[in-house]
Amino acid sequence: MPKRNWLLLLIIATVTVANLFVFFNSKRKDRFAVPEKGFTTTKIPLSASMMNLSRAKLATLSGKNSSLTKKASPAPPNPTSGLWIYVSSWDEGMGSWRRSLSEILVVSRCLNATLVEPCIKNGRLVSCGNNEAGSLVKLGDVFSLTRMKEFHPAISSFEDYKKYVVNDTPRFTICMHHGNPTDACGDSKSLSRKKNSTQVDQSVETSLQRQSILEVTHFRRQAFSNMIHNGAPLVQKDQLSVVKSQYLTFRNEHYAHVNKLLQKMGVNGTFAVIHWRAELENIDYMGCAQAILKAREAMNMTNTSFVLMSSLNKDENLQWGGVHRMSKNTTSQEALSFLSDAGIYKLDRVVDEVQDLIYLAVWDLILAGTAEAFVTCTGGCRSFCSKCNYQGAFAKLAAQLRENNGKESVLCWPS
């Protein structure tokens, strides 16, 4: 056959093979193409929990503990696996739940789990699924979730938790209560401050194959303080202190609102705060009010406005339940009027309406944190102020917030 014919046949064969390749490749694309109409997608929360190994297990395999210098990284969404941590009941007031909230954030990061955002009612943390609690405030309405997620990105709303968790999702429940009441866990044995938890281990192992839930009930601070998982502590003290001081910050709009309230009160310059936690039975309210004026005089701060930070309020509907009960039919209102007449300002006098009492507490803490001087009664004071104040965690919290800002506090009323 002449060479010209061979060349022609070769060209025809090449063109035929190329056309066949294009034809079959287009069929393959059509098979996997996304239809333009009638196609819906399901979004799964982009969370660090959707990985195939827990952070604790990775630390064990690598021989290194997780470091604060390395942020938890979100992994690709996986609808078939991942651990959720859902605290269905909390047993702390605000002075203590900053500690318990820091703790559960650290635990969630260690287990590479998605933490379900809690809500707040009357100053206490509650589950956002607690329908009996009535109107609820989301944690993210008080604290900056953006800042929290810089430490642990995997924080989900309760609505998303209910959306993505199916009814047959394995649930492992642990009661983490200690102290009174001693029967809070009912028939279940409390695992608070215990070293090991089969439920925790099983929830993590199950999450490697499918979604699972670690439900925590009656959670109190330090409940996980001794617990070990995969040979490493779930909670490290250095992480707790960093979370409390750097990642639990109030939303910026609360600071702006406090400034507006100060202007509304007529406080435009330097101000100092005196704290009176009047939550004791049979208080001599007028005697305590006079002690506050003596403390103001002893501070020797001229040209300074003084603001009273107290659980006592002129509008008794803005008082905590215990305060309302203890101050009923007493001289508490006369004492507040006495201090007002003496030039002591009080935040609640210019507050029109609040959704929850937590906001008054937040604004008081911001006042304490930004004041030129702050005087409280805590840390085992034995002076007269100990007869006027319940020396609980709230005063320590205020002092801690000031310390984070490089400011000192006076822990006993001067006289």
HEC-encoded secondary structure of the chain: CCHHHHHHHHHHHHHHHHHHHHHHHHHHHHHHCCCCCCCCCCCCCCCCCCCCCCHHHHHHHHCCCCCCCCCCCCCCCCCCCEEEEEECEECCCHHHHHHHHHHHHHHHHHCCCEEECCEEECCEEECCCCHHHCCCEEHHHHECHHHHHHHCCCEECHHHHHHHCCCCCCEEEEECCCCCCCCCCCCCCCCCCCCCCHHHHHHHHHHCCCEEEEEEECECCCCCCCCEECCEECCCHHHHHHHHHHHCCECHHHHHHHHHHHHHHCCCCCEEEEEECCCCCCCCHHHHHHHHHHHHHHHCCCCCEEEEEECCCCCHHHCCHHHHHHHCCCCHHHHHHHHHHCCEEEHHHHCCCCCCCHHHHHHHHHHHHHCCEEECCCCCCCCHHHHCCCCCHHHHHHHHHHHHCCCCCECCCCC
Which tens digits make up the pLDDT trace of 342-377? 999 999 999 988 888 899 999 999 999 999 999 999
Q: Are residues 162 and 256 in the same domain?
A: no
Q: Are residues 115 and 162 in the same domain?
A: yes
Query: Which range of residues forms the domain containing residue 146?
Result: 55-247
Omega before 76 cis (within 30°)?
no
> Does 29 reside within a domain?
no
Residue 133: the pLDDT is: 58
> Does 36 reside within a domain?
no
> Does 369 reside within a domain?
yes
> Does 262 reside within a domain?
yes
Q: How far apart are CA 203 and CA 190, in angstroms?
A: 17
CA terminus-to-terminus distance, the chain: 121
> Does 258 reside within a domain?
yes
Domain end: 230, 247, 264, which one?
247
Domain end: 207, 226, 247, which one?
247
Residue 323's Cα: distance from chain center in Å? Answer: 25
Tokens describing residue 246: 């750097």
For the four alpha carbons of 332, 334, 338 and 344, in that order, the dihedral sign comes to positive
- 16 contacts 43 by C-beta, under 8 angstroms: no
Element (H, E) at 228: strand 228-229
CA-closest candidate to residue 42, choices 171, 166, 182, 210: 166
Side-chain-side CA neighbours of residue 125 (13 Å): 30
Q: Are residues 107 and 201 in the same domain?
A: yes
> Does 362 reside within a domain?
yes
* CATH classification at residue 193: 3.40.50
User: Checking DSSP bridges between strand 305-310 and strand 271-276, what pairing results, if any?
Assistant: parallel
Q: Are residues 64 and 194 in the same domain?
A: yes
Domain end: 247, 262, 290, which one?
247
Q: Are residues 236 and 285 in the same domain?
A: no
Domain count, the chain: 2
Q: Are residues 228 and 365 in the same domain?
A: no
In tens digits, the chain (415 residues) has pLDDT values of: 554 454 545 555 554 545 544 444 444 334 333 333 332 333 333 333 333 333 333 333 333 333 343 344 343 344 557 999 999 999 887 778 888 999 999 999 999 999 999 999 988 899 999 876 568 999 999 999 999 999 999 999 999 999 989 889 999 999 999 988 888 999 889 999 999 999 999 999 999 999 999 999 999 999 999 999 999 999 988 899 899 889 999 999 999 999 999 999 999 999 999 999 999 999 999 999 999 999 999 999 999 999 999 989 988 778 876 787 888 889 999 999 999 999 999 999 999 888 888 999 999 999 999 999 999 998 788 889 999 999 888 899 999 899 988 999 999 999 8
Q: Are residues 157 and 289 in the same domain?
A: no
> Does 37 reside within a domain?
no
Q: Are residues 181 and 258 in the same domain?
A: no
pTM greater than the 0.95 cutoff: no
What DSSP character marks residue 347?
G
> Does 14 reside within a domain?
no
Q: Are residues 227 and 349 in the same domain?
A: no
